[in-house]
Amino acid sequence: MWLMCMFVGVSLHSPAPALPAMITMLQEQASAAQPLTHAPAPTEPAGDFGPDATGQQPPDTQPAKRRGKGRRAEEAEAEQGAESEQGAAAAAEQPGGPLHRPTGPMRIEPLAIFDGRVKDWAPQVGRGLEPGLRIQLQITGERLGEVVRSGKMIVEEIRDDTGASLLKSEDVKPRDTWATQQVSVTARVLRQGFLPTEAMFKSPQRRAAKISRLKGYLNVVYGAHVEDVVVRDPLRYEGRNVENERLKELGVVIRVLKIGEEVEEAGEGRGIAIRIDAGDDNVRGVDFFDAWLRRLYTQTRTDRGTDERRYTYFSITRGRLDPDCQMVVTVFPRVEREKLEFDLRDLELP
């Protein structure tokens, strides 16, 4: 009532003040008319969730009672852990996995030895059981990623610790001393850090415990970027060498063999036989395309011609070779050859 009278008095006997000022004045007058009847509750400093004055934990912070998992729960957890380990191993096999980059010069190191012995009471059956000593070596080094071709492991001497030679008479052929073949250094090879190679030898003496010496070499070829050389209508070169200026500059000589004379293969557009007479280190691969630049699907195999020289036959499995087709030779413009020698001592036998 008193507050209402004050409001009326102000409105009748005083000029109308501004609205914000009037509201402030009314709030001050109301506070003065009603004094506080209680003090605010004291606030305590925030502490940790420790025990209160009674020594008990607050209800929402008491630790839950541990329960036994049971046998099935433990087995499930163990299986989940095993799956996690397998997943980690699988992740390491992915293309984005960590790489083991070998360092140091290119070299040959031992990898594994397998010694197989066979006792066959009926060898005429031909079960394909081949006894012998198989030795695996690894090609490794800082230039592993540049290797595009490698040759056969040429072993000049191998002896066990009894002094017996384990070389076979037919181990090395003249062509093996210089010939190489294409290899693929994939991401998996780079992750493991080496390129494997192997050879077979005679079994060591039973009392032998080590390979006292393994001496030889292996040829490797390094290459960088590739280049495609197009040869139009390769069938017109049947029975003679391919004429191409770029191949001539690189020293690559490719001969298209004549079906029925130099080789006994299917012709008439169903296949083509070629032989690389020079510069095979520079050649990465050969593909064939039709007039619409669609790749012709082929199956390749290596055989010997009438002159006992090796050639490669491309059997066309989808499509057909005709004068409108073209042969694309993928080459390495620059290559480098290196002879990796090794002389390994005291290799333990299994």
pLDDT in tens, 184-221: 888 888 888 899 999 989 989 899 999 999 999 999 99
Q: What mean pLDDT comes out for the span 108-129?
A: 81
pTM for the full predicted model: 0.62
pLDDT in tens, 315-337: 888 878 888 899 999 999 999 99
HSE-up of residue 31 (Cα within 13 Å, Cβ side): 6
pLDDT in tens, 76-99: 444 444 433 343 344 344 555 555
State residue 163 phi and psi, 5-degree precision.
Answer: 95, -5
| Percent residues over pLDDT 90 in the chain | 36
d(C-alpha 217, C-alpha 172), whole Å: 12
pLDDT at 249: 93
pLDDT at 251: 93
d(C-alpha 238, C-alpha 53), whole Å: 104
209: tokens are: 């415990």
Confidence band of 338 (pLDDT split at 50, 70, 90)? very high
